[in-house]
A and B are shown apart, each in its own frame.
Chain A
Amino acid sequence: GNSVTQMEGPVTLSEEAFLTINCTYTATGYPSLFWYVQYPGEGLQLLLKATKADDKGSNKGFEATYRKETTSFHLEKGSVQVSDSAVYFCALSDTSNTGKLIFGQGTTLQVKP
């Protein structure tokens, strides 16, 4: 079945450091891929998405590229801020086109001043 695997957290970085959060997936067919972010006390917000191979999603300085050959969708940011501290979830849409999202377990990012 379809599944998503994220790197274990927590990830602790200093402000302005480079961020990578790894995400790999298993799916039949061609799912769309998403990164959601959950700030403390808030609901999940879409950060970025990519709907086909080689697409790059970007938002708020974050980027991720849909790599079909490595079944990956790693999240990157060149310079993190304290305000980026949150839990990040990688997800894919079920390939039966039902719209169902399958999430990874989440990666907690803590950015220190």
Chain B
Amino acid sequence: EAGVVQSPRYKIIEKKQPVAFWCNPISGHNTLYWYLQNLGQGPELLIRYENEEAVDDSQLPKDRFSAERLKGVDSTLKIQPAELGDSAVYLCASSLGGGRGTDTQYFGPGTRLTVL
């Protein structure tokens, strides 16, 4: 079974440029998460989707970040414009769903963003 797929793996951009990350979850997983991982820290949730609905986006900086999950499968996270402080690893995870706290989340390899 294929795991969570993310692309690109690495991205280097200049500040004020836009950038987008793509995630394909495990087939059949209804819940999709985007996390931000700063260097030397644990991941922090940005947004959670149940199917195509964003059910928790309280941590997403909405002035520059946006996300979508069309048809409840793939998802895209966008930053526009990027700032120096956005340099981090962006992780996508998926789980079977239902918002159960016992669910196992499966993580992709992440996209490492460097903003110059």
Contacts and interface: CB of A to CB of B under 8 A. Distances in A.
Partners in one complex: yes
Interface of A: 4, 31-32, 34, 36, 41-46, 49, 51, 89, 91, 93-95, 97-101, 103-106
A105 B37 CA distance: 10
B99 A99 contact: yes
A31 B101 contact: yes
Contacts of B97: 99
B104 interface: yes
Interface of B: 3-4, 31, 33, 40-45, 48, 55-56, 91, 93, 95, 97-110
Contact of B42 (A43, A91, A98): A91
B107 A44 contact: yes
Q: Would you call the interface of chain A mostly helix, strand, loop, or mixed?
A: loop
Q: Would you call the interface of chain B mostly helix, strand, loop, or mixed?
A: loop
Given A93-B101, A97-B101, A106-B42, 5 more contacts: A4-B42, A89-B42, A91-B42, A93-B103, A100-B45
Contacts of B109: 41-43
Nearest to A31: B101
29 contacts: A34-B104, A36-B107, A43-B91, A43-B108, A43-B110, A44-B91, A46-B106, A51-B102, A89-B42, A91-B42, A93-B101, A93-B103, A97-B101, A98-B48, A98-B99, A99-B33, A99-B95, A99-B100, A99-B101, A99-B105, A100-B48, A100-B56, A101-B33, A101-B105, A104-B42, A105-B40, A105-B41, A106-B41, A106-B42
